[in-house]
Chain A
Amino acid sequence: MAGLFYIGNVQAQGITESFEYTTGLLEGQGGWETPYGSHSCWVDSIKVFDGLKSISVQDNYASCSGRKEIATTTTGFFSIYFLAEVKEPGNNLLYYLGTGPWITLSNEQITIGNENLVLPGSENWSTNRWHKIGIELNTNEGWTRAKFDDYSWTATTTAPSTPITALYFLYENGYRNEQDFFIDFIQYDVSYSDYVFETMGLEELPALESCEGLGITEGFLCEIRNFFTRLFVPTPEKINELKSTMEMIKTRFPYSYILTIQNFFSDLKSGIDENQEINFSILGQAGQVDFGFWNSTTTLAGGVQTFLDIFKTFFKFLLVILLGLWFISLIKRIFK
């Protein structure tokens, strides 16, 4: 299966959108427009990261895009998940609103914007697993930045100052080769700001009051309050130092080993491809296992069911029985 591109779940200002639409063109469903490459944006359930549906983009087309109006805002936190089965230099993923940021996927790294800021950790991006790109944008202050998976943010780079009016994505296949590329699960939240948290340490750090223009008594009380604020409230720099020191534990045993095991299981889970074909070679003759028999049907319990469903249900039943037996043995050992 080559050249599919999926987009799955959007959260906008507390509203979750998971593309649970009718299989077919995205155009016109749920308020989505596809200004570029409308013919290649499909709602489908072939491969999803979250939910039951996603958007697929057929190959042999240059691009696929989606655009949806949102309430005008000037800040936002966006994230998008993608999976590539083949690495191709020159593929671009424009994600968000208006005129940038522009994410470029190359064989070795991922960059953002015209300055080509390299996303820290992006040299670890690999095929056949889901990765996340997070983008934070503040058009009031004119900056944006990005991060890859759970690695650190890039430095901030210049962002357009125009307010955000629409959620927007665009994927371009730079070389127009056949390839498997998937995107799924987009999050959008205008109220969240990692940058504010990191800069200030606490989002609701008590601020000093302005005592100008107050009477003698009110001014005195105001100064007293500010005195205690200065006396007890830690500075943002100190809180940041604490945070960065706490982060260092991730490099120490056993935390680092536990993190590695966690990543192992999450990668394993996301790397499993139910549509994988099994190739074999016998006496020089290559072939593929034909799983067509799973779709054969039979009547069971008064209903027509496929062998696939029957066996899957059987294995689930078996696992539940095993879990029950293990649980009984656990109880026995506790009271032994």
Chain B
Amino acid sequence: MTQEDPEQMVTAGGERPTRGSLERRLALLKRSVIVVAVGSFAAVASLAAERTAAHGASTPSQQTNHVNQYQDGGDDYFGYAPYGDDSGSSGSLGSGAGAPPAAGSHAS
């Protein structure tokens, strides 16, 4: 068992940073984000503008050309029960697994 490095945290999508992302992370370290003890979270008011201010994204024409072609099917895959029957594994995720995020906000 390991005692975690105090400077580490659980990070989503955090593997193999490139030089660019590493530089961003170093910059972020100066801001010293990180985590407090589990179970002590305060609710946070909305911090993020919806996809507005930081947006700045434009869609390449190539993608626009495929709008109709790649409309996804009516399949309910993303609301489907976990893998279970197909994978041969048993059980399912925790009781909250099927629920949408309860509430909250997000900043980028």
Q: Is B truly associated with A?
A: no
Residues of A within 8 A of B (CB): none
Residues of B within 8 A of A (CB): none
